[in-house]
A and B are shown apart, each in its own frame.
Chain A
């Protein structure tokens, strides 16, 4: 029998399959969708399709919830504009907020948590000061974490607004400074599109590069199904011809992100049926097979499965971020802190 997580992927890919789902399977599928933050996305995707009344009600709840989340996300973005206006820096929105503000398909039903923005690295101190002045505060007071972020990461330690509770991640580049690929953040900032209201977003190819970097070259694939769905929709919207795929390839190569783009597209093609250009080579590799297994590692109760694989990919995400000695030191410090915290409970 097909597993619920695979049924979820099938429904996203082909909504007409909704009529083939039996009553008992829905509970599992909805539970998995919620755990993957894809419930409202599924609700949007199955709009107009015939589903049991109970499912329709749950979808209506998910839409209501999503509308409120997206309204808050728009407001948070405007608050960042206001805070940075005196510096003359229009924030470049990344991820969910960017899809939402530029009206892309990827925003439909998308959950948006933190606000992610990109700003020029040489203005970072000013941006930080402006945000602190406007009510944002540090989340991580821990000196090791603070120093770690500042020295090695691609973003400031996260800030949270003291009244609105909204989290902001200020990026100054695409990947950690210690990672091997070095995407050209300056060029991305240069090319960013103005979308009005004092906001900017990355140009389409850079947006795809960022999406893939975030998905494959950086993360441990938590929330991977959703991030890959973003990528699928972005490609479907931006790359409508052989030529545009060619341009994407060139852009990805200029950012050192060609393997990330190709690997992500392979997975998206496999799971969601995204177009695969003839000249991009073989569609399958053992690496992608492992990632695929990781992406689908969830059972019908919403529980995570395959702990060793999850752990391996978690380690890999760190391995990609930093050289071995630094990684060992980092994990040791993190582990000791975790152990201390557990003892103190």
Chain B
């Protein structure tokens, strides 16, 4: 491949190759504060390839491929190359990672304990984790929570935070520092997307694990409410939220049972950031 870089996030190292310079330069800028790993052995290889040879120049479009890929993934225009790389990193983890139980969830830590947030895309879990990361919590990740198969501890995986549509302006208000944002990607399959670097302290501490203490199912845009999620329902919902639960077999089952028995779960609805912070603090006070 003509251009390449390696990215080290939490326990995983990705090698990304590209037919074009632009996505690699954007990745390097976004992941600049992360540890240098140019000589390290990569866990996964990702390729951003021209769909046909002439498509490198003419209406350039990026085909995602690599160690693990979806056969029917549609190509993206080159302007969305950064998004393609991010999607590919998610895909490698979702399909290939076996060292932890993977939950599609965001995670933040305070006083050695982890708050997990899970839910459908658009539920507000990314924004909420970014918000908490600016309010004294350590950011552990907004895409995957990595659950240790034996201890049940959460391993940090603090990738760049993927903000979508209205969340972009909201995050710019509470982050302030424009330099931490990646380029604005418009007209993607999920609308507008802009990536946010986690705080440097979160990146520096990305190797540290902590035990989970609370699990929330946030829903943005509904009148303020809190509800308990019973363990059985929680278990079933988390099997849906895990990308490798089935592939891990018995080890995945045990890890999930352990998590559900250990960690209380609640659904929270909110309409503003302040409401969200209040609800989180109130529930956190019970487990802290």
Q: How many A-B residue pairs have CB under 8 A?
A: 57
Given A31-B67, A61-B98, CB of A301 within 8 Å of CB of B247: no
Answer yes or no: B220 CB below 8 A from chain A CBs.
no
Given A27-B15, A31-B45, A34-B67, CB of A57 within 8 Å of CB of B1: no
Add 4 more A-B contacts to A64-B251, A303-B47 (CB < 8 A).
Answer: A54-B40, A57-B99, A61-B96, A65-B98
Interface CB pairs A-B, < 8 A, 12? A23-B40, A23-B41, A26-B41, A27-B45, A52-B41, A54-B13, A54-B41, A55-B41, A57-B99, A65-B98, A67-B249, A302-B45
Q: Flag B59-77 by CB within 8 Å of A: 1 or 0 each.
A: 0000000110000001000
**Closest chain B CB from A29 CB (angstroms):** 10
Answer yes or no: A24 CB below 8 A from chain B CBs.
yes
**Closest chain B CB from A311 CB (angstroms):** 15
Answer yes or no: B17 CB below 8 A from chain A CBs.
yes
Contact between B1 and A301, CB atoms less than 8 A apart: yes
A55–B41 Cα gap in the complex (Å)? 7
Instruction: Give chain B interface residues in 1-43, CB to chain A under 8 Å.
Output: 1, 13, 15, 17, 39-43
**Closest chain A CB from B72 CB (angstroms):** 10
Contact between B99 and A61, CB atoms less than 8 A apart: yes
Instruction: Enumerate the 9 nearest inter-chain pairs by beta-carbon distance, A residue then B residue, closest first.
Output: A54-B41, A61-B98, A64-B98, A31-B45, A27-B42, A26-B41, A34-B67, A68-B249, A27-B41
Given A65-B98, A68-B247, CB of A302 within 8 Å of CB of B43: no
Answer yes or no: B283 CB below 8 A from chain A CBs.
no
Instruction: Give chain B interface residues in 239-268, CB to chain A under 8 Å.
Output: 247-249, 251
Answer yes or no: A71 CB below 8 A from chain B CBs.
yes
Contact between B247 and A65, CB atoms less than 8 A apart: yes
The residue of chain B having its C-beta at the shortest distance from the C-beta of A57 within the complex is: B99
Q: Which residues of B contact A302 (CB under 8 A)?
A: 45, 47, 66-67
**Closest chain B CB from A53 CB (angstroms):** 9
Answer yes or no: A58 CB below 8 A from chain B CBs.
yes
Q: Flag A299-331 by CB within 8 Å of B: 1 or 0 each.
A: 001110000000000000000000000000000
**Closest chain B CB from A62 CB (angstroms):** 8
Q: Which residues of B contact A35 (CB under 8 A)?
A: 67
**Closest chain A CB from B247 CB (angstroms):** 5
Q: Which residues of A contact B15 (CB under 8 A)?
A: 27, 31
A60–B43 Cα gap in the complex (Å)? 12
**Closest chain B CB from A31 CB (angstroms):** 4
The residue of chain A having its C-beta at the shortest distance from the C-beta of B6 within the complex is: A27
**Closest chain A CB from B48 CB (angstroms):** 11
Answer yes or no: B97 CB below 8 A from chain A CBs.
yes
A65–B97 Cα gap in the complex (Å)? 9
Instruction: Give chain B interface residues in 41-97, CB to chain A under 8 Å.
Output: 41-43, 45, 47, 49, 66-67, 74, 96-97
Instruction: Give chain A interface residues in 32-56, CB to chain B under 8 Å.
Output: 34-35, 52, 54-55
Chain A, interface SS category: helix
Q: Flag A63-90 by CB within 8 Å of B: 1 or 0 each.
A: 0110110010000000000000000000
Contact between B247 and A24, CB atoms less than 8 A apart: no
* Number of chain A residues whose Cβ lies closer than 8 Å to a Cβ of chain B: 24
Contact between A61 and B41, CB atoms less than 8 A apart: no
Q: Which residues of A contact B74 (CB under 8 A)?
A: 345
A34–B74 Cα gap in the complex (Å)? 23
Q: Which residues of B contact A301 (CB under 8 A)?
A: 1, 17, 45, 47
A57–B23 Cα gap in the complex (Å)? 29
A55–B249 Cα gap in the complex (Å)? 23
Q: Which residues of A contact B66 (CB under 8 A)?
A: 302
Q: Which residues of B contact A23 (CB under 8 A)?
A: 39-41
The residue of chain A having its C-beta at the shortest distance from the C-beta of B66 within the complex is: A302
A61–B41 Cα gap in the complex (Å)? 15
**Closest chain B CB from A61 CB (angstroms):** 4
A256–B135 Cα gap in the complex (Å)? 75
A35–B74 Cα gap in the complex (Å)? 20
Could you say which of B43, B247, B251 contacts A58, with CB atoms under 8 Å apart? B43
Q: Which residues of B contact A24 (CB under 8 A)?
A: 39, 41
The residue of chain B having its C-beta at the shortest distance from the C-beta of A307 within the complex is: B53
Q: Which residues of A contact B251 (CB under 8 A)?
A: 64
Contact between B67 and A61, CB atoms less than 8 A apart: no
A140–B96 Cα gap in the complex (Å)? 28
Q: Which residues of A contact B39 (CB under 8 A)?
A: 23-24
Q: Which residues of B contact A68 (CB under 8 A)?
A: 247-249
The residue of chain A having its C-beta at the shortest distance from the C-beta of B249 within the complex is: A68
**Closest chain B CB from A302 CB (angstroms):** 6
User: Most A CB atoms within 10 A — which of B13, B40, B45, B248?
Assistant: B45
Q: Which residues of B contact A303 (CB under 8 A)?
A: 47, 49
**Closest chain B CB from A244 CB (angstroms):** 39
Q: Which residues of B contact A61 (CB under 8 A)?
A: 96-99
Instruction: Give chain A interface residues in 229-261, CB to chain B under 8 Å.
Output: none
Q: Which residues of B contact A27 (CB under 8 A)?
A: 15, 41-42, 45
Contact between B98 and A54, CB atoms less than 8 A apart: no
**Closest chain B CB from A187 CB (angstroms):** 38
**Closest chain B CB from A46 CB (angstroms):** 14
Could you say which of B17, B45, B67, B248 contacts A64, with CB atoms under 8 Å apart? B248
The residue of chain A having its C-beta at the shortest distance from the C-beta of B11 within the complex is: A57
**Closest chain A CB from B271 CB (angstroms):** 40
A30–B251 Cα gap in the complex (Å)? 25
Q: Flag B103-120 by CB within 8 Å of A: 1 or 0 each.
A: 000000000000000000
